[in-house]
Amino acid sequence: MSVRVEGLTKIYGEQKAIDKLSFQVEKGQILGFLGPNGAGKSTTMKILTGYLPPTEGSVEIGGFDVQANPKEIRRLIGYLPENNPLYGDLYIKEYLHFVAGFYPIKNSSARVSEVIDLIGLTPEKHKKIGALSKGYKQRVGLAQAIIHDPQVLILDEPTTGLDPNQLVEIRSLIKALGKEKTLIFSTHIMQEVTALCDRVLIIKDGKMQANDTLQNLQSTFQGEWVTTVTFQGPFTLEHFKKIKDVQRIRQIHPDVIQVITAPGIDVRPLIFKQAVKDDNIIIGMQQDRRSVEEIFQKLTGSDIQ
């Protein structure tokens, strides 16, 4: 089921929260919505769910206009709002039964147990929501969003405030969900985008800065490829500078150099041959494209006004 957004604009008073956003996501795709805090990510997501009306533009989910068909849209989507609001005084099962009650689910008890299993809430399933750790609360938030097996999932910052282990678990959960659904999630953590997304949408001050696949973004914005080489023992820097296609070399540590080339040029074999020739020992070599962090900073940072 596809999500199409056309010329979406939202104005609060005098302030343009989002400005003419257009994008499209298809089934089986994960769209990462990346932007600094206050860029308009949550506003956009609230409009996608129909909770907020747009000032201009339209959202179409599975052929339904969000504003014209609120009932259909609400059945189709699963939404995890910003800050994951929950009722702390309800038990997990009680809460999920409550949420399931909104949808025409045939056997809601079975579905609740199934989702509890799927999301990995089983060890905590008899607790009150208020007594759960942040990671488990986040899982409850995800559980309520998928209880009716929606075609489209909209997750607003699903991983904020999680510790590294929880982060890995929730990410793999999102990745698994994204295989069968149309999934849109927002984050301000760039690694998350690299880990999860097929497409990236970067916004800043409500304006679209980029809307592309991760690979395309990287190849558009990378001015250069960087090969980091770690030596054991002495080496002759000058010999490496003479390798064909090497633009320049940075020495970032007595034993570590970064060899910079134009994009698409792999100099690793040549570096290796040169090292062998000089009888230097290479203990590590890694080639990187420009990272998403750098692209993100370039697109949203103040240095690119």
Partner 1 sequence: MWVIYKKELTTFFNNLTGYLVLGVFLTVMGLFLFVFPETSLLESNFASLEPFFEMAPSLFLFLVPAITMRLLAEERQLGTLALLLTKPIDEMGLVIGKFLAAVSLLFLALVPTLFYYITLYFLGSPVGNLDTGAIMGSYLGLLLLGSAFASIGMLASSLTESQIVAFVLAVTGCFLFFYGFYFLSGLPVFFGKWDALVQQFGMDYHYHALSKGAPDTRDLIYFLSVIAIFLLITRFVLQYRIRS
Q: Which residues bind partner 1 (CB under 8 A)?
A: 12, 46, 49-53, 70-71, 74-75, 77, 79, 81-83, 85-87, 89, 98-99, 101-103, 144
Helix (H, G, I), strand (E, B) or coil at 105: coil
To partner 1, the closest distance from the beta carbon of 150 in angstroms equals 11
- 164-178 and 134-146 are packed helices; what angle lies between their axes, rounded to 10 degrees? 10
Q: Is the CB of 98 or the CB of 272 nearer to partner 1?
A: 98
Contact 55, 216 (CB under 8 A): no
Q: Is the CB of 51 or the CB of 131 nearer to partner 1?
A: 51
Question: Across the strands, what pairs with 59?
Answer: 5
Q: Is the CB of 86 or the CB of 195 nearer to partner 1?
A: 86
To partner 1, the closest distance from the beta carbon of 20 in angstroms equals 19
To partner 1, the closest distance from the beta carbon of 52 in angstroms equals 6
Q: Is the CB of 93 or the CB of 298 nearer to partner 1?
A: 93
Cα–Cα distance measured from residue 12 to residue 24, given in angstroms and rounded to the nearest whole number: 24
To partner 1, the closest distance from the beta carbon of 83 in angstroms equals 6
Token couple for 260: 């910079």
Token couple for 129: 């929501």
Question: Across the strands, what pairs with 248?
Answer: 260
Contact 60, 3 (CB under 8 A): yes
- Which pairing describes strands 56-61 and 3-12: parallel, antiparallel, or unpaired? antiparallel
To partner 1, the closest distance from the beta carbon of 33 in angstroms equals 17
Q: Is the CB of 149 or the CB of 288 nearer to partner 1?
A: 149
